[in-house]
Structure 1
Amino acid sequence: MSTPATDNRRARRWIEDWRPEDAEFWESTGRAVARRNLVWSIFAEHVGFSVWLIWSVSSAFLLAQGFAFTPQQLFLLVALPNLVGSLLRLPYTFAVPKFGGRNWTIVSGAMLLVPTLLFAYAVQDPTTPYWVFCLIAATAGVGGGNFASSMANINFFYPSDKKGAALGLNAAGGNLGVSLIQLLLPVMVGGAGIFGLVQASGGGIHLERAAYAYAGLAMLATAAAWLWMDNLATVTSSPREQMQVVKQRRTWQLSLLYIGTFGSFIGYSAAMPLLIRLNFWVPEPAPLGTGIYFAFYAFLGAGVGSLTRPFGGWMADRWGGARVTLASFVAMVVFTLGVLWTVNQLTPNPGADPAVASANAAWFPLFLGFFLCIFAATGVGNGSVYKMIPALWKASAERATAPGTPERAAALTSATRQSSSALGVIGAVGAVGGFLVPLAFAAPWVGDPLTATRAAFTVFTAYYVGCATLTWVLYLRRPVRAHGLAAAEI
């Protein structure tokens, strides 16, 4: 029997009846509601990703604003938000059934004010010590946690045959936040123009402007979630039930694949501005220096990877997630070898010699072309791996029950809950790659950053080969016996 408190709670944007697998319900009611929640989920996640990666490009401007940090220190600054973001993804996933998807979107949006306002305060004082910057960069990880709760929430709204495209769009909208922050931050802070349409400011670098802008967007995302999103009362789960996925082998197998796709995407996105700055550009002569100015190109990789992610989900819906995932890893191997070959042609430039920067710049078109192809492959792989997750849990439920029975309906409901939990766990583990990738480029035991870069791409190539092999062995060689599905359905 409901109490007045319960009725009041449910009246505030709580949906009691939600049956996305019922075709009639979906067409008459579900589709419009799910689409509305998807739109505002994308916006909130987009702002979260932007805040998460604000250090990826701002770190390259810290020297111009008067801070004296080494390349190793700068790479650590861009890596720390990724580490914290990966650790937060698990509790953020559990928050959806505990508090409601709308409610948690409101809370997580408001929390973005912490890293943005702290960032704005710190960058205006050149005496701010490095350890304070590390703490503030770590708080930006809350933006990375938003991804897990957003994806888990949207997973509940859509039927299984539309999850691939919906999750792909939701993730792509968030991922685009990485590209836009890298495109717009240099303009907002006065560090660069944009394709001749906007001119760089002549008043120096002002990083705090970007922080204030995204604090305002965080408030807007919070208000939008309050006004136009919904909670699903049918989404109930205990932490114990959710943690069951941690005990399942397939959770960790898929996590290894997601490290390769999403870990690469977010890690390369964070490191790309510094990679360009250290290897292809020197600041003399002012104002734009010699070589390739990183601010003009840093956003391209994340933009390409974001745009291809929904195509990965769509292709996985059409041809099967396992097939598309295998193809993406094969492409990543080929194009990473291309980047490695290009990097091997570069000359180390520890003395910031304009002549060396100019010579290295001749190789930049090939470097950028191969790198953008890697980003495209990571986006496709991100979408296809996330399609595989609900498909595998649904297959297990169908294998254990008879069609049309109450047991089948209960099993499918449980499978949706577990797959949403798995999305959070796998997303958390995969995001750890975003911490490891920048660190690999700044290996402290290697004196020359270019040598560290070459070693890192060699290791990444080997990992992608391993992921391609794992995908083939587990999901394509004998998919029917292993999972109860044809290869096209995984």
Structure 2
Amino acid sequence: MSAQQTHQTAPSGTWLKQWEPENEAFWEAGGKRQAWTTLVLTTAALTMAFITWFLVSALVVRLPQIGFQFTASQLFWLAAMPGLAGGTLRLIHMFLVPIYGTRHVISLSTLSLLIPLVGWFYAVQNPETPYWVLMLLAFLAGLGGGNFSSFMPSTSMFFPKRLQGTALAIQAGVGNFGVSVVQFVTPWVIGFALLGGMAWVGEPQTMTRAGVESQIYLQNAPLVMIPFVAVFGITAWIFLKSIPITSNFREQFDIFKSGHTWSQTSLYIMTFGAFSGLAATFPLLIRLIYGDYEGAPDPLAWAFYGPLIGSASRVVAGPISDKLGGARVTHWAGLGMLVCAGLVAWIVTGTDSLASFPMFVTGMLALFFFAGVGNASTFKQMPMLFAPRQAGGVIGFTAAIAAYGPFLFGMLFAWSFAAFNSAAPVFWGLAGFFAFNVALNWVLYARKGAPYPC
């Protein structure tokens, strides 16, 4: 079997007979419509995947306020666990589309999100829920993180190379909005009884914040997502098709023979690893750095801005990367991240009041912005360096490794606060890592006369 071939024996209704996006006549005759329709449906499903993946980051800051007795380290572990699961599951998802096809993978993986959503709906209603149960549910939330490494390779194979930067940026950028959506919607939707307070929706919890008690419905956060996940999963099964590019499990390992796989992985860890890791920990960072001061800000009132800005910049940077070249855009994004990481590290060093909070938020939002730009530009580089099936595999692998961001950042911040009672060491370390990747990208891809311009 070749690494890329037409599927000969697949059942009708699932597999397309042919797919030639680089053929202009084929593209205009119907390929373009099929590709953009698929992009719309899979992007809607990917948004729900990100919402599920980052649901825990929105819930964890409220758990101590409704009676759950956890330490700061335990809370960081809860926030980190979806990242551990997401990265691990992406290592599986990266192989699935060439084996089972877009239709089956997208629809079934979307419906699997119902498991953690239903679980969290029940778990948060009882402060006596064991910690190990919450850890298991946090791990299962990582099902949403795993989906990315099958969704994105699928999209890369549906579009011609000249449009892949735009298509991948739209899908990933809009999907990333799910992070901001869950952190924005949660504070609002938990404030009232859904469905007229019907008994099966659950009783309210008493939240104590700054000595003031109020009634909230924390279970509403997962509940409102359940019908959307069900509808998008069923819709994907009905309308999606699979393209005839197939490969078995063993053949897909050829991507690991290329040094570009590893350099692109490092670059994507810099961009998406930072985006996802900081998105998962931003609410807790605000709480731990500024939460003890009088008039402390509500973490969820600010945290959603980071993923929102990062997602928007990813969408915008896609077409720019198609026009200017991914490597050049990655270069400037990396420099921006380097400066912002150093700025935030300086701001949080010796913080002893709320006076530095505006500067902290500004530095973090700028860091999210440049991370979003780099997320788009790196995904433009990969399809230019590899053949279509291989590019899909590399996209899936790099996304898998970078998806450990929430886990790694959770562990790093837990260590940093335990050892130094500060987040500064982590941000200084990030600045060093960003500097390494800027140099790597410049030498290999971005400089004039680079050996592999992309």
Query: What TM-score, normalized by structure 1, do the two folds share?
Result: 0.84
CA distance in 2, matches of 1:26, 1:125: 54
CA distance in 1, matches of 2:358, 2:417: 30
SS of corresponding position for 1:94: coil
Q: Give a deviation string over 1:256-284, Cα, whole Å, max 9, x none.
A: 111110000000000001111112224x9
Residue 52, structure 1, aligned to residue 53, structure 2? yes
CA distance in 2, matches of 1:383, 1:278: 31
Residue 243, structure 1, aligned to residue 244, structure 2? no
The answer (yes or no) to whether the contact 1:89–1:425 under 8 Å persists in 2 is yes
5 Å matches for 1:161-200?
161-190=162-191
Once the two structures are overlaid, the 10-residue window that deviates more, 6-15 or 98-107, is 6-15
CA distance in 2, matches of 1:152, 1:466: 27
Residue 207, structure 1, aligned to residue 212, structure 2? no
Aligned to 1:128: 129
The answer (yes or no) to whether the contact 2:173–2:315 under 8 Å persists in 1 is yes
SS of corresponding position for 2:66: coil
The Cα shift of 1:183 comes to: 0.2
Counterpart of 1:146, as a letter, is N
SS of corresponding position for 1:126: coil
Q: Give a deviation string over 1:274-305, Cα, whole Å, max 9, x none.
A: 111112224x9xxxx72211121110000000
The Cα shift of 1:312 comes to: 2.4
Determine which of 441, 444, 453 is the counterpart of 2:413. Answer: 441
Residue 298, structure 1, aligned to residue 299, structure 2? no
CA distance in 1, matches of 2:239, 2:62: 37
Residue 370, structure 1, aligned to residue 340, structure 2? no
The answer (yes or no) to whether the contact 1:260–1:433 under 8 Å persists in 2 is no
SS of corresponding position for 1:204: strand
5 Å matches for 1:334-413?
334-347=339-352, 360-393=353-386
The Cα shift of 1:473 comes to: 1.4
SS of corresponding position for 1:10: coil
CA distance in 2, matches of 1:378, 1:104: 28
The answer (yes or no) to whether the contact 1:190–1:203 under 8 Å persists in 2 is no
Determine which of 431, 439, 454 is the counterpart of 1:461. Answer: 431
Aligned to 2:139: 138
Aligned residues: 430
Residue 221, structure 1, aligned to residue 204, structure 2? no
Q: Give a deviation string over 1:382-416, Cα, whole Å, max 9, x none.
A: 001111001011xxxxxxxxxxxxxxxxxxxxx11
CA distance in 1, matches of 2:9, 2:401: 38
SS of corresponding position for 2:19: coil
The answer (yes or no) to whether the contact 1:64–1:205 under 8 Å persists in 2 is no
Aligned to 1:323: 328
5 Å matches for 1:278-317?
278-282=288-292, 290-317=295-322
Aligned to 1:10: 11
CA distance in 2, matches of 1:205, 1:249: 52
Once the two structures are overlaid, the 10-residue window that deviates more, 203-212 or 423-432, is 203-212
Aligned to 1:422: 394
Counterpart of 1:310, as a letter, is V
The answer (yes or no) to whether the contact 1:61–1:205 under 8 Å persists in 2 is no
The answer (yes or no) to whether the contact 2:118–2:226 under 8 Å persists in 1 is yes
SS of corresponding position for 1:290: coil
Residue 470, structure 1, aligned to residue 440, structure 2? yes
Answer with 1 or 2: which has the greater Rg: 1
The answer (yes or no) to whether the contact 1:79–1:438 under 8 Å persists in 2 is yes
5 Å matches for 1:70-149?
70-149=71-150
Unaligned runs of 5+ residues in structure 1 are: 1-5, 192-199, 348-359, 394-414
The answer (yes or no) to whether the contact 1:72–1:444 under 8 Å persists in 2 is no
SS of corresponding position for 1:383: helix
Q: Give a deviation string over 1:75-133, Cα, whole Å, max 9, x none.
A: 11111101110111121121111111011111101110111111112111111121221
The answer (yes or no) to whether the contact 1:81–1:141 under 8 Å persists in 2 is yes
SS of corresponding position for 1:469: helix
Provide the identity percentage. 36
CA distance in 1, matches of 2:445, 2:33: 34
Q: Give a deviation string over 1:15-66, Cα, whole Å, max 9, x none.
A: 1121100011111211111111000111000000000000111100001121
The Cα shift of 1:345 comes to: 4.6
Query: What TM-score, normalized by structure 2, do the two folds share?
Result: 0.91
CA distance in 1, matches of 2:168, 2:447: 26
Aligned to 1:403: none
The answer (yes or no) to whether the contact 1:246–1:425 under 8 Å persists in 2 is no
Once the two structures are overlaid, the 10-residue window that deviates more, 319-328 or 10-19, is 10-19
The answer (yes or no) to whether the contact 1:41–1:150 under 8 Å persists in 2 is yes
Aligned to 1:196: none
